[in-house]
Amino acid sequence: MNYRGPYRVRADKDAPLPEILHPQDAIVQVLRSCICGSDLHLYHGLVPDTRVGSTFGHEFIGKVVEVGSAIENLKVGDRVMVPFNIACGKCAFCRQELYGNCHESNPEATAVGGIFGYSHTAGGYAGGQAEYVRVPYADVGPTVIPEWMDPDDAVLLTDVVPTGYQAAEMAGIQPGDTVVVFGAGPIGIMAAKCAWLFGAGRVIIIDQVDYRLEFAERYAQCEAVNFRSIGDPVAFIKTITDSLGADVCIDAVGCEAAGNTMNTLLGRYLMLQGGSTTALHWAINSVKKGGIVSIVGVYGPINSLVPIGNVVNKGITIRANQASVKRLLPKLIEHVQAGILNPKELITHRVPLEEVGDAYHLFSSKLDNCIKTVLIPPAV
Amino acid sequence: MMTDQTTPEDFIHDKGDHYSHIKGWGIDFDNKNDPTYPIKKRNNAEHQGYSWPRPPQQQETVEILKSVERPNLTAVYGTSNPPAGLSGVIRRYAFKYSESSYGRWLPLMLADRINMVEGVVGDIAKGHLPNIAKELGLGSEWKYNKRSMIAKSILAGVAIGVLAYRLCYNKKNK
C-alpha cells in the first residue's frame, strides 16, 4: 500500500522487501491487516508528517519469516499478532506497562511512542497493509496466536479490542454507572461492549450513522441514539440522567467529529487545531460533576479548543492514552476464548490488498454498511 | 552520519535523600490513590531519569529528523521515506521547533501538501502515470453509491461547463 496524498492510495507490486535493521527485529509476512478508523485521519491528510510513499497499517497479524540475532522468544514459522505499539520493554514507561508510551521507539516526537504505519510523527515505520513488515523489538510486543484462535479474532486483538477495552477500563466504571460512548465506529462499539464487563448499569452509544447505531445496539446490547434526532446531545443526556449527567463519558471519535460547524471548520478544513473536538466537548459537558471522561479518540498534536473551564468547575477527571496492547492481551485472549468477546463479528468487508484504494474509499465514505474492513494480501 | 554515542550513565540523576529535610514529606502517600491505576503499574522508574539499560542502537543509514525534546535517537526507528526535495527542506526547518510549537506542525502540514505534488512529479518522471480514479477508490463508489456518483458527476460537469462558458464569454467581450 502506497499513500500518494489525501484520499489517494494505491497498491504497489514492486515495493522493496523489508530488511532486518536491528538485532531485535523480525520480518513478518502479513496474513491479514485491517483499516482502522484512525488510518482515515492519515488518509484524509490530517496527521502532520505523513509522507508520500508511506505504507499505513497498524492492525495486522502474520507469520515470522526472519528473525534478528537477539530474538529469543520467536522463531521462523510462528504466527503472531503484532500490537500496534512498538515498545522496547526496557524504558521507564514500558517497565510500568505503559507500552503505548515507549521512550525508545520514536525519535521524531516524545509525546507519542512508535506506531506501525502511522506517519513520521509516530516514528516513520512502514505499516502492515503490505505483504511483509519489519517488526522492531520483536521479542517484546508480538504474541504467538493460540492454535484455537480464529485469525479474524486475532487481527482485531492488535488494536480494536484492547483500545475499546482500555477506554472502558480508564473510565473507572463502577457497578450501576451510566456510560455514554460517543462514536459508533469499531472502537466505540467495542468500548460499549466492554463497559458491561466493568459493571455498567446503562450503556448509551451516540453517533449520526444509523446503520452503525443499529449494529452497535445489536452487538454491544446497548442503547443507540442518533444525535441528529435529539437536538442538543448534552441536554438529551441531562434529561435522561435526572439532570445530573452521565457517570462516565467515553470519546471514541477523535479528530473528525461532526456535529459542530465551528469545530469542523477549524479542526478538519482549516486544520488550525488538532481536529474537530465536538465529541470531547459533548463528553465534558455531559458527564456528571466529579465524573470521568475517557479519551481514546485520536487528535492531532497541535492545540485544540475544549471547554477546560467546565472541566475545572465540574471536577472532572480526564483519562486518556493509546492502548497498552501487550498489557491487555492475556486477559483479552481469555475473554475471546470464553466467548465473552467476539471481535470477528465486527468484520463486514474483506478486500484484496491490491484493491486498497477501493477499500479505503469504502470505509471512509461508509458505503455498503461498512463497519470493519480487512485487507487480504495476495499470497494469502 | 554519526551514530548516537550517549549512554545511560550520561543521564543518571539520583535524587537520594533530597527531601529528608522536609518534615512530614510523603507521610500521606497512598499508592492506591493514583488516577493512572490500573493502566500503569507504578514503580517510579522515571524518577531515576533516563538511565535504563538501552537496547542496542540501530545504525543510521538514512537521515532521521529528531525531536529537539530528545537528547538522542531512540534505539530503533523507521527508515521509510527520508526527507527529500522541497518538502524535506521544510521538514528540517520544522524539526528545529519543539512539539509544543505551531512552528513544528504547520510547516509539516505544508510539507505534506508539497510532498503530494512531488509524488505526482516523481511518478511521471519514472514514466508512471498515476491512475487517480483508482487511487481515489472510485470503483467502490461506482459499485455501492452509483446514483450519488452520477449526480455528482453531472453537477461537476455542469459547473465546469458554466465556468468554461463564462471564461469564453469574457474573452470574447474583451
Ordered per-residue pLDDT tens for chain A, 380 residues: 999 999 999 999 888 999 999 999 999 999 999 999 999 999 999 999 999 999 999 999 999 999 999 999 999 999 999 999 999 999 999 999 999 999 999 999 999 999 999 999 999 999 999 999 999 999 999 999 999 999 999 999 999 999 999 999 999 999 999 999 999 999 999 999 999 999 999 999 999 999 999 999 999 999 999 999 999 999 999 999 999 999 999 999 998 899 989 888 988 888 888 889 999 999 999 999 999 999 999 998 888 889 999 999 999 999 999 999 999 999 999 999 999 999 999 999 999 999 999 999 999 999 999 999 999 999 88
Q: Where are the domains of chain B?
A: 1-80, 83-130, 131-174
User: Comparing C-alpha atoms, which of A75, A153, A113, A76 is closest to residue A347?
Assistant: A153
DSSP run (H or E) holding B112: helix B102-125
pLDDT of residue B15: 55
**Residue B16, pLDDT score:** 57
* CA distances from residue B6 to A27, A307, B63 in whole angstroms, order as listed: 28, 42, 18
Q: At the topology level of CATH, where does A160-320 sit? A: Rossmann fold (3.40.50)
C-alpha cell at A326: 501487550
A105 in B contact zone (CB under 8 Å): yes
For A154, half-sphere exposure in the C-beta direction (CA atoms, 13 angstrom radius) is 22
Contacts of B80 in chain A (CB under 8 A): 51, 53-55, 124-126
- Find the mean pLDDT for residues B9-19: 67
| B5 at interface of A, judged by CB pairs closer than 8 A | no
Give B 105-124 residues with CB within 8 A of chain A: 105-106, 108-109, 111-113, 115-116, 118-120, 123
- DSSP character at residue A268: I
pLDDT-derived band at B2 (thresholds 50, 70, 90) equals low
Report the length, in residues, of chain A.
380
Q: Measuring CA to CA, how many Å separate A245 from each of A11, A62, A174, A239, B78?
A: 47, 44, 15, 8, 44
Count of CA atoms in the C-beta half-sphere (13 A) of B60: 14
| Residue range B80-93, pLDDT digits in tens | 999 999 999 999 99
Taking contacts as CB-CB distances below 8 angstroms, the residues of chain A near B31 are none
The per-residue pLDDT for B166 is 87
Chain A residue numbers touching B123 (CB-CB < 8 A)? 4
- Is residue B147 less than 8 Å (CB to CB) from chain A? no
Contact of A38 with chain B, judged by CB distance below 8 Å, is answered with no
According to the model, what pLDDT value does residue A303 have? Answer: 86
Q: What is the rounded average pLDDT of the residues B100-110?
A: 93
Over residues B55-67, the pLDDT tens digits come to 999 999 999 999 9
- Model ipTM value: 0.85
SS3 B35: coil
**A362/B144 CB distance under 8 A:** yes
Cβ-defined contact of A123 to B74 (cutoff 8 Å)? yes
Domain definitions of chain A by residue range:
2-159+324-376, 160-320
Any A CB within 8 A of B38 CB: yes
How high is the pLDDT of residue B28? 74
Query: By the 8 A CB rule, do A376 and A60 touch?
Result: no
User: H helices of A287-355, where?
Assistant: 308-314, 325-337
What's chain A's Rg over C-alpha atoms? 20
Query: What was the pLDDT predicted at B1?
Result: 56
Q: How confident is the model at residue B27 (pLDDT cuts 50, 70, 90)?
A: confident
The DSSP code sequence of A145-168 is PPTTS-HHHHHHTTTHHHHHHHHH
For helices B102-125 and B85-94, the axis angle rounded to 10 degrees is 170
Domain A2-159+324-376 has CATH 3.90.180.10: yes
Do you know the residue count of chain B? Answer: 174
Strands (E) located in chain A: 2-5, 8-10, 26-35, 60-67, 79-82, 85-86, 114-115, 132-135, 143-144, 178-182, 202-207, 223-226, 246-251, 287-295, 317-320, 349-352, 373-376
What separation in angstroms does the CA of A238 have from each of A175, A179, A217, A224, A258?
Answer: 20, 13, 21, 16, 21
pLDDT at A377: 96
